[in-house]
Amino acid sequence: MKSFFYIFFIFLTGTSFLYSFKRFDTYKTFELKGSNWPVFISEGVSFKKDENGKIFIGLTENPDYDYFATDLFIDFEKSSLRLENYQTLYSYFILYKDEKFNGAFSGKFTFSDSCIKLLPKRESIFYPGSEVGSFTIDFWLYPFKNYDKQYIIYYLADDINIDNDRKYGFIVYLDKGRLKYKFLNFFYDYEKKNVIENVELEEEANVLLYKWEHHAISFDSRSGKMVIYRNGIEEKVIFITENFKKNGKVYYPYVNEVVNTPLIVGKNSFFLLDNLRISKKFINNFNLFSVNRKESFLITKVFKLADNFFSIKDIGIDLKKDDYGFVKFGYRISDDIFAPDNKNIPWVYVNLENFNIPEEFVKGKYIQFKLIIYPEVSEKDIKIYALKLNYNVDETPYIPQIVKAVPGDEVVEIYFIPSPEDDILGYEIYYGNESKNYISKDALEGASPIFIKKQSEGLQYHKATLTLKNERPYFISVRAVDKNGHKSPYSKEVYVRPSSVYSKNNFSIDR
């Protein structure tokens, strides 16, 4: 007995040391951040970079330009310009990040040599000899000073064939604190026999210093209507007709062939520009917000987080928004793989500021996420940097350890140290007549494997008794089974052979 208890003490101590590193609750973190969001479907959002170069999910930027109707568009996001309809002869401006309408930068022009010189190609509506048709010029302006003759666009040329000071083209500029639009010898009748020498419009009030404002002029070649807009509001309307009245004979814009000069942006200026656009159509409705203000969403693909079950501990989103924006978060979870567009699995929407979720939607193997963004009352972007899920993994149970298998007369007693997890339901006893081959029906208790319930807490011995046939070899192993049906690997195999000689008297007669 002494030797038995000595062996037991050493074994149990060794086992405790082995299990002391076991984490009964193994918490893990699943995180989506940067551009590694596997997006299944989204609308109204896109990946962007903030001023520090950190990637976030934000609202799609406006305006949404019609590619086929755009003659020129400069967003000032890069210092080098690649334009389809214009050849860049010269370009120098500062990429300015402290103030911009949208994107990462605006273009800063500061007198001296700051400007962009563009030569219209044949595809441009302003190529010499072109009939322009309807057009719109719009841009965002941030003035620093009220100096006169600051040109947003300068496209004027002299007629070198005539000895006079007649000029052809148009200019958009600041003069006496106001923004003006002037067209010189630019509108002709249908036969191009008569020309309107001067068309000039100006805004009703001075520009505001150190403030972004949207300015636009738009011409409709069907009616001759010309409108100037400020911050999306119609300020002045005239009709480019023979008598400058509605329904009169329309005069059409035409770039005289004598115009052999580049179109200059930012000449003699001290201001910021953003999203300068020339369109080939009449526009009377401008989207003036830097980002989309409609309800948007993002749905991820389906993720498998564990071979066994996992349980959600908490979920958080790293985001920046103003007081008016709102992000609604949802997820759905399942034991089985499901398609990302599955309509049968419900979405669970969670209040992330006071985290609580229903018990029936805590556990699974597969999960999918959904973000719904409501920016309608805010002009500012919503920046979603990361989504983080902390969860508990239902790990595979630890292997039980067989201490000894004691043969008897038509019986075998197996003693083993149980697995240490709290959620163990019981154990499966495997037996067979060959090593690693646990297929047998010899036991009176049933075919292999035989299930026995968990008998006690802690690391106390568990005992299993099998009624087996004498003189036959048996190879035995044990596996733990938890409440979720997960099974441990097989324990170390033991060999035992019951016999009549292990009777109560330690002998047998005639058997």
Domains assigned to the chain: 2-22+398-502 (2.60.40.10), 26-52+292-393 (2.60.120), 62-279 (2.60.120.200)
- Average pLDDT (486-510) is 86
Q: What is the pLDDT of residue 159?
A: 81
- Which helix (H) or strand (E) covers residue 11, if one does? helix 2-19
Contacts of 287 (CB under 8 A, 6+ apart): 62, 63, 64
Q: Does residue 304 register a pLDDT over 90?
A: yes
Looking at residues 37-52, what average pLDDT do you find? 90
* Phi, psi angles (nearest 5°) of residue 64: -90, 95
Q: Which of helix, strand or coil describes residue 45?
A: strand
User: What mean pLDDT comes out for the span 228-254?
Assistant: 95
Residue 26, pLDDT > 70, answer no
SS3 101: coil
Question: Given this model, what pLDDT does residue 393 score?
Answer: 84
Segment 230-234 shows an average pLDDT of: 93
User: d(Cα 337, Cα 478) in Å, to the nearest integer?
Assistant: 31
- Give the sign of the dihedral formed by CA 317, CA 318, CA 319, CA 325: positive
Which residues, 6+ apart, have CB-to-CB distance to 13 below 8 Å? none
Above 60 in pLDDT, residue 158?
yes
When comparing pLDDT for 50 and 224, which is higher? Answer: 224
pLDDT of residue 21: 35
Joined tokens for residue 219: 């011409």
DSSP structure class, residue 244: S
Q: Average per-residue pLDDT in the chain?
A: 88
Measured CA to CA, the distance from residue 426 to residue 436 in angstroms comes to 21
Q: Is the pLDDT of residue 278 over 50?
A: yes
Rg of the chain taking only CA atoms, in angstroms: 40
pTM here is 0.56
For residues 96 and 144, what is the distance between their CA atoms, to the nearest angstrom?
A: 13
pLDDT score, position 422: 82
128 confidence band (pLDDT: 50, 70, 90)? very high
Strand partners, 445: none
pLDDT of residue 511: 67
Local structure of residue 403 (DSSP, 8 states): E
Structure tokens at 128: 């010499």
Report the distance separating Cα 310 and Cα 26, nearest Å.
10
442-451 average pLDDT score: 96
Secondary structure class of 17 (helix, strand, coil)? helix
Predicted local confidence at residue 302, as pLDDT: 97
Predicted pLDDT at 268: 93
**16: pLDDT confidence band, cut at 50, 70 and 90?**
very low
* Amino acid sitting at position 383: K
Q: Which range (120-134, 156-170, 190-204, 247-261) has the least confidence?
A: 156-170
For residue 63, the model assigns a pLDDT of 59
